[in-house]
Amino acid sequence: MLLKKLFRTLWHYKAQFISMVIMIALGVGVFLGFNIEWYSLEANLKEIYTATGFADYRVYNDKGFAEKDVAAILAIDGVEDATRFLSVNTSVKDDTDVIALTVCENTAVSGVLVMEGEAYDPDDPDGIWLSDSYAKANGIRLGDAMTLTYKAVEVTGTVKGLVKASEYLICLPDETQMMPDYTSYGFAYISPVMLENAIPKPFRMMMGNSLYYQINVKSSLSKEDFVAEADRALGKTLLVLSKAETLSWAEAQGEVEEGKTMGSILPVLFLAIAILTMVTTMHRIAANEKTQIGTLKALGFRDKKILCHYTAYALIIGLMGSVLGIGIGYLLGWFILNPDGAMATYIDMPSWRLHVPWFCWLVLILINVFLTVIGFMSVKKMLQGTAADALRPYTPKRMKHLAIEETKLFKALSFGTKWNLRDCLRHKSRSCMTLFGIIGCMVLLVGGLGMQDTANAFVDVFFDQANNYAVKINLDAENAKYADAVSLAAQYEGDWGAQRSVQIGDRGFGLEIYSVTHDRVRFADENMNLISLGDGGAYISSRIARKFDLRAGDTLSFSPYGGDENYTVTVAGVLRSLSESVVMTQAYADTVGIDYTVSSIFTNQTDVAPNRSILNTQTKQAVLDSFNTFMDLMNTMIFLLVVAAVILGIVVLYNLGVMSYTERYREMATLKVVGFKNVRIGRLLIGQNIWLSVLGILIGLPAGIGVLQYLLNALASEYEMKLTLGSATYLISILLTFLVSLFVGLMVARKNRNIDMVAALKTEE
Q: What is the DSSP string of 332-368?
A: HHHHHSSTTSTGGGT---S-------HHHHHHHHHHH
How far does Cα 546 stand from its chain's mean position?
21
Instruction: Answer whether residue 258 shows pLDDT above 50.
Output: yes
**What pLDDT, on the 0 to 100 scale, is given for residue 308?**
77
Q: What number is the average pLDDT over the span 536-562?
A: 84
Q: What number is the average pLDDT over the span 161-178?
A: 83
The amino acid that residue 300 corresponds to is G
**What pLDDT, on the 0 to 100 scale, is given for residue 204?**
55
**What pLDDT, on the 0 to 100 scale, is given for residue 206?**
47
Q: What number is the average pLDDT over the span 579-598?
A: 87
Q: What is the DSSP string of 532-589?
A: PPPSSSEEEEHHHHHHHT--TT-EEEEEETTS---EEEEEEEEEE-SSSEEEEEHHHH
Mean pLDDT, the chain, integer: 79
Q: What is the DSSP string of 184-244?
A: TEEEEEE-HHHHHHHS-HHHHHHTTT--EEEEEEEE-S-HHHHHHHHHHHHTS--EEEEGG
**What pLDDT, on the 0 to 100 scale, is given for residue 629?**
64
> For 396, what's the count of Cα atoms within 13 Å in the CB-facing half-sphere?
18
Q: DSSP character for 473?
A: E
Instruction: Answer whether residue 68 shows pLDDT above 50.
Output: yes
Percent of the chain with pLDDT over 90: 14
Model confidence at 605, pLDDT cuts 50, 70, 90, reads confident
**What pLDDT, on the 0 to 100 scale, is given for residue 132?**
92
Q: DSSP character for 65?
A: E
Least confident window among 8-17, 60-69, 208-217, 740-749: 8-17
Q: What number is the average pLDDT over the span 548-559?
A: 86
Instruction: Answer whether residue 237 shows pLDDT above 70.
Output: no
**What pLDDT, on the 0 to 100 scale, is given for residue 34?**
84
pTM of the model: 0.74
Most confident of 253-257, 399-403, 489-493: 489-493
CA neighbor of 291 nearest in space, from 281, 306, 311, 279: 306
**What pLDDT, on the 0 to 100 scale, is given for residue 724?**
82
Decide which of 299 and 36 is more confident: 36
Model confidence at 82, pLDDT cuts 50, 70, 90, reads very high
Q: What are phi and psi of 157, to 5 degrees?
A: -160, -175
Q: What CATH code is assigned to 471-605?
A: 2.40.70
Decide which of 261 and 246 is more confident: 246
Q: Which residues contact 93 (CB under 8 A, 6 or more apart)?
A: 146, 147, 148, 149, 154
CA neighbor of 537 nearest in space, from 511, 572, 512: 572
Q: What number is the average pLDDT over the span 594-616?
A: 81
**What pLDDT, on the 0 to 100 scale, is given for residue 718?**
59
Q: SS3 breakdown of the chain: % helix, strand, coil, rounded to 5?
A: 55, 20, 25
Q: What number is the average pLDDT over the span 142-160?
A: 86
**What pLDDT, on the 0 to 100 scale, is given for residue 662?**
66
Q: What number is the average pLDDT over the span 541-553?
A: 85
SS3 719: helix
Sequence spans of domains, the chain: 1-54+244-394, 57-219, 411-465+621-765, 471-605
